[in-house]
Amino acid sequence: MRDNKVLVIVGPTAVGKTALGIELAQRFNGEIISGDSQQVYQGLDIGTAKVTKEEQLLAPHHLIDVRSWEENFSVHDFVSLANETIAAIIERGKVPIVVGGTGLYIQALVEGYHLGGEENHEAMLALREQLETLSDAQLFEKVTNLGLNIPEMNRRRAVRALERAEFGVKDENKGSAYEFHLIGLNAKREILYDRINRRVDQMLSEGLLNEVRRLFEKAPQAQAAKGIGYKEFFPYFQGEATLDEAVELVKRNSRRYAKRQLTWFKNRMAVEFFDVFEAGYPANILDQVDAFLN
């Protein structure tokens, strides 16, 4: 039975999630839902590594270009729209495939909570990033100091308790009606970092600077402008940094983001990871997906 089953592909930037998503969609009669916080914005195509028009012809894609770059988009928005889209895809008799690397979005969807609604999105992101830097002992100490009682405390429960303490009763856990199968993609660090560096170079050759300049001139304070691949060029346009310095900062921040993505999925979610360059890929995933769906 496939009537409540959803595939989810996660992993760091530049690892190959888009290609696998399209392959699974073609093999298993699926449609893809973007789980990327930046690809929702119209006009931000190059810097977000958005699926091309040609790739979109290979499989239907959703939650792409659903906001102008002047608008905000929150985890609350994502969970609501993703659930609506999943239901519609299943109604058509197809398999929903969520593809993305925004850990907060994916976890909120899979675990079925809205994380305090729209207004808390940025604050929640900031809190989680801060908590992820703590050791288990430091994390548990914060819970104890607040007098919170958590049975069988582990890292995940500690973080959730601290989030609830910070954001109060608005942190709502509804659960999910769907059965999710998570697939994690990864590669050896030196290979992944090289792919990231080369991707940035490719983006520049495709016209990234013009895309960033338009955002810089029209909506420099927008949420969309805070994304990696955009904000690093603002000092260059302001005459405060050289182009080489800006490019190197994009590469460095992208590599650091990839590391944070992996940390999130490994520490906070039950994800089995596959090395995209090892023998047997992606046949090992295809067999697993076939068993899950059937």
**Residues forming the annotated binding site?**
11-18
Binding-site residue set for substrate: 13-18
CA 157/CA 144 separation, integer angstroms: 13
Burial class (CB in 10 A: 0-12, 13-18, 19+), 290: exposed
139-152 in b/e form (b: 16+ CB < 10 A) is: bbebbeeeeeeeee
Binding-site residue set for ATP: 11-18
Ordered DSSP codes for 71-140: S---HHHHHHHHHHHHHHHHHTT-EEEEE---HHHHHHHHHTB-TT-GGGHHHHHHHHHHHHTS-HHHHH
3-state secondary structure of 148: coil
Q: Residues 107, 224, 31, 87: is their CA dihedral positive or negative?
A: positive
Q: Which residues contact 145 (CB under 8 A, 6 or more apart)?
A: none
